[in-house]
Amino acid sequence: MSEAHAHDLPFWRKYVFSVDHKVIGIQYTITAMLFLFLGFSLVSIMRYQLAYPGRDIPVIGKLLGGSIVGQTETGYVLTGDGYNALGAMHGTIMIFLGVVPLAVGGFGNFVLPLQLGAPDMAFPKLNMASYWSFFAGGVVMLASFFVKGGAANSGWTSYPPLADIATTGQTMWLFGMVLLITSSLLGSINFIVTTVQVRAKGLSFFRFPFFVWAQLVTSFLLLLAFPPLEAAGVLQLMDRLADTSFFLPSGLVVSGEVQTQISGGGSPLLWQHLFWFLAHPEVYVLILPALGIVGEVIANNTRKPLWGYKSLVFATIFLGFMSFIVWAHHMFMTGMGQTLSTFFQATTMIISVPSVIILTCMIISLWGAAIRYTVPMLFALAFLPMFAIGGLTGLPLGLTTSDIQLHDTYYVIGHFHYVVAPGTLFALFAGVYYWFPKATGRKMSDFLGKLHFWPSFIFINGVFLPMFFIGMAGVLRRQFDQTEQLHGAAVQGLTVMASWSAWLLLISQLPFIFNFFWSIFRGQKVGANPWEATTLEWFAPSPPPHGNFATTPVVYCGPYEYSVPGQKSDFCPQNVALEA
């Protein structure tokens, strides 16, 4: 489609129901960032209850309606159901409506075709359907807050029978998940076909930027891991709406009433297997695009090639494969015997090897560099130790014996948040600062970027570092009031510290929000390649027009030809042949 034709499109076709990958990428990005903010806001309310159990919520207590809060003589407090709903929806929103849509739908859609030298995705209409399915899923999830009984409150894992007997919000959650999973499936097929079929001449697989590899492997994970959860979601819907018993055993007695209407014979464990068969690969769906972004930013700002590029690629593929055979380490406490647990412990130990390789490649890439401390680089660098802490603390959870004590404690929360929050989210921030000039033709403010980075770095550690100690003390996750238990009361001070850090972290996002919107209109205007980068996206105009490139690029070299001896500049674009 020509640029002229694109301009002929009416507003709603060009910016709303667009089939252009860049518009869809930006739609995903904006929507996902709004959901991230919402998800963070929900947990900020929860953290008040955790820090000051049973006390009136100041200022906003009255604004929270429905089943979330209950009225006291002096104000409003969070209810047990409200707390559980906020917890379940925080997890769901952050993962399925925030991080994955931003990492894959946002960055993948915007950057991937550009890095491939492609004019668009292979299936633009499928791409649009993917976004709108995601959007509809998000609307359903949000609407669930307003139904009787409130939103889903059985945890983001929705274990039956609790989820099967929960209020209507759980039905909405399941419908929402079906839409979100459908969105991911449509997107992943598109990404795979685009990567393989719609790449520029000369762009062989080992000339792919690492980001492309990361997105490709991620797409396979989405394609192969999500269908079991979609099937499981439909089965749970049947249990709730059609009185089937896929996940319900016989003889349930709930609140003293024998559940005679349940035919029984189902297995609660079946759901757990189906759920974690998706949810562990999902962890890598969250991580791999982040690693891809960090790889791009590090190569660009060290001004040298990534160390061990092929090792990175093979490690990523191996990581993706292994992620399918570790799921049951989330279920060690279900009564697993020696043989099965040893298998899953072994695979869990094995999966740490490619993770170590990737991290090693990233850090050795710093050796001999000339590091530019740009805002994207600050976030990318911070990602490395945060991801390392997240990865290392996975070890005690991957061994059954140490997992006995740490399973379902705050140690788990600390572990996966180090991977996903100061890990993946920092990488996503790096990506926003890095590709913002490509999307808008303007650069975000460095001052505001650093004002965003440093407090965020400090406070995010203030939130999650204490959780290792809280978990080590035995405090269990999903506790409305940890002081109800002796071991929880002993470390309440750390929980107060984590809560204050979370609120300060929320405030620390204000410079970013202002910077993002202000820079769209007032940011410093920059050329097509402000970072002096090598990959193809930087050789399209900023912002790229419909169709992306004036002429289809031809690729002559690898993705990170920085500081090549004998060249005029310290970067050699992929679409320019190296000088002899």
Partner 1 sequence: MLAATQYGNYGLWSPPMVSVHGDGVDSLITTLHWFMFLLFVPWAIFFVYCLVRFRRRAGHTASYTLPKAKISKYGEIAVVIFEVILLVGFSVPVWAEYRTRPPVREDRLEIRMVAQQFQWNIHYAGPDGRFGRTSAEFISDVNAIGLDESDPAAADDVQTINDFHLPVGKDIYVRLTSMDVVHSFSIPTMRVKQDVIPGMEIPVWFKIKEDATSENLRAEMTRAYPIGRVRWDRLRHHIATEDYKDRTGQVLLAKGGSLGGTFKAGAELIDKLRQAGVAEISMQPRHPLELVCAQLCGNSHFTMKAQLVTHTPEGFDEWIAEQSKEVTFDEDF
CA-based torsion, 371, 373, 379, 383: positive or negative: positive
**Is 406 an interacting residue with respect to partner 1 (CB under 8 A)?**
yes
Interface with partner 1 includes 489 (CB under 8 A)?
yes
Instruction: List binders of partner 1 among 343-372 (CB under 8 A).
Output: 345-346, 349, 352-353, 356-357, 360-361, 363-364, 366-372
Q: Considering only residues 141-160, where is the footprint of partner 1 by CB under 8 A? A: 153-155, 159-160
Q: How far is the CB of 58 from partner 1 (least distance, A)?
A: 15
Binder among 323, 479, 519, 548 for partner 1 (CB under 8 A): 479
Q: How far from chain centre, in Å, is Cα 515?
A: 22
Question: Judged by CB under 8 A, does residue 80 bind partner 1?
Answer: yes
Please, are residues 160 and 236 in contact by the beta-carbon 8 Å criterion? yes
- Closer to partner 1 by Cβ: residue 197 or 569: 569
Identify which range of 472-480, 514-522, 537-545, 551-559 contacts partner 1 by CB under 8 A: 472-480
Give the whole-angstrom CA distance, residue 107 versus residue 28. 9
Provide the minimum distance between the beta carbon of 101 and partner 1 in the complex, in angstroms, as a whole number. Answer: 26
**Which of 16, 258, 513, 550 contacts partner 1 by CB under 8 A?**
258
Site membership for partner 1, residue 2 (CB under 8 A):
no
Taking the complex as a whole, how short is the minimal distance between the CB of residue 214 and partner 1, in angstroms? Answer: 20
Q: Is 172 in the site for partner 1 (CB under 8 A)?
A: no
d(C-alpha 120, C-alpha 540), whole Å: 13
Nearer Cβ to partner 1 (55/450): 55
| 22, 367, 449 from 444: Cα distances, Å | 19, 28, 7
57 interacts with partner 1 by CB under 8 A: no
| Cα diameter, the chain | 83
- Please select the residue that binds partner 1; options are 204, 250, 524, 552, rule is CB under 8 A: 250
The reply to whether 338 sits near partner 1 by the rule CB under 8 A is: yes
Using rule CB under 8 A, residue 66 touches partner 1: no
Q: Are 548 and 119 in contact (CB under 8 A)?
A: yes
- Return d(Cα 461, Cα 389) in angstroms, integer: 11
CB of 227 to partner 1, least distance (A): 24
H helices of 198-247, where? Answer: 210-241
Considering only residues 450 to 469 of the shown chain, the ones binding partner 1 according to CB under 8 A are 469
Residues 277-316 that bind partner 1 (CB under 8 A): 302-305, 307-308
Size of interface with partner 1, in residues (CB under 8 A): 108
Measure CA 152 to chain center. 20
Print burial letters for 255-273: b (CB count within 10 Å at least 16), e (below 16).
Answer: eeeebeebeeebebeebbb
Q: Least distance in Å: CB of 5 to partner 1?
A: 43
List of residues 6+ apart from 63 with CB closer than 8 A:
none
| Nearest one of 195, 1, 31 to 113, comparing CA atoms | 195
End-to-end CA distance of the chain: 37
Residue 168 engages partner 1 in binding (rule: CB under 8 A)? no
How far apart, in Å, are the Cα atoms of 185 and each of 32, 139, 179, 410?
A: 17, 19, 10, 32
Determine how β-strand 524-525 pairs with β-strand 442-443. antiparallel
**Whole-number minimum distance, CB 82 to partner 1, in Å?**
9
Which is nearer to partner 1, 83 or 429 (by Cβ)?
83
Measured from the CB atom, the residue of 31 and 158 that comes closer to partner 1 is 158
Query: Residues 560 to 579: which contact partner 1 by CB under 8 A?
Result: 562-565, 570
Query: Is the CB of 59 or the CB of 486 nearer to partner 1?
Result: 486
Beta bridge partners of 524: 443
From residue 49, how far is each of 82, 150, 482, 487 by CA, in Å?
Answer: 11, 18, 10, 18
Closest separation between CB of residue 232 and partner 1, Å? 15
70 scored as a contact of partner 1 (CB under 8 A): no
Which of residues 553 and 558 has its CB atom nearest to partner 1 in the complex?
558
Q: Which of 56, 132, 238, 408 binds partner 1 (CB under 8 A)?
A: 408
